[in-house]
Amino acid sequence: MKRFGVLSGFIIVTAIAFAIMGPTPGSQPVLGMPVLGVGDQDPAWLQVGGGTGVLVVGIGGAGVVTYGLYGLGVLFATGQAAAGLFAIGQLAFGLIFVICQMGAALTGVGQGIVGVQVAGQGTLGGDGEEFLTRLQDDAEKVLAFTSR
């Protein structure tokens, strides 16, 4: 979880820095989409301030990955209200996994959570504590910076 926090911090700070700098004059679109969009209605690879894009950082939006107050991420979403394959939020829906205050997913951790394998308070579903602990251990080994 520490690595996730560090990576998320880098992504958010980098996105904000790009938004402050703005697009460079004469920058060319990549595969038909601009690299940076700041609150644009058109999709961009990096969308800051909300909207649609591949990586969306801001109040709200939809993309492959979203960081914001609310958002829909195809792969990952985080925020107060979030939905995606993996979701972290106050009110969250994740198809596969969720960490939330209230939400639903196949597996997850939360206070009020519905799923197949879940752990937390007020859960509705199978006791997933052993499964999620084993999953955490495996993920830490795979994502470790050094070999163990």
Q: How far apart are the first and last CA of the chain?
A: 17
Handedness of CA 38, 76, 64, 61 (dihedral sign): negative
Answer yes or no: are the C-beta atoms of 77 and 90 closer than 8 Å.
no
Name the pLDDT band for 17 (thresholds 50, 70, 90).
confident
| pLDDT in the model for residue 143 | 72
As a whole number of angstroms, the distance between CA 125 and CA 61 comes to 30
Per the structure, the complete domain to which residue 137 belongs is given by 35-142
| Residue 21 located in a structural domain | no
| pLDDT in the model for residue 83 | 92
As a whole number of angstroms, the distance between CA 1 and CA 87 comes to 14
Q: pLDDT tens digits, residue range 60-113? A: 888 999 988 888 999 999 989 999 999 999 999 999 999 898 999 998 888 889
Per the model's pLDDT, the better-predicted residue between 21 and 36 turns out to be 36
| Residue 79 located in a structural domain | yes
Q: What is the rounded average pLDDT for all residues in the chain? A: 82
pLDDT above 70 (res 22) = no
| Residue 5 located in a structural domain | no
| Residue 44 located in a structural domain | yes
Q: pLDDT tens digits, residue range 125-135? A: 878 788 888 88
Q: pLDDT tens digits, residue range 98-127? A: 989 899 999 888 888 988 888 888 777 878
Answer yes or no: are the C-beta atoms of 148 and 138 closer than 8 Å.
no
| Residue 56 located in a structural domain | yes
As a whole number of angstroms, the distance between CA 58 and CA 117 comes to 31
Q: Which residue blocks in the chain are alpha helix, DSSP H?
A: 2-21, 129-142
- Our count of domains for the chain comes to 1
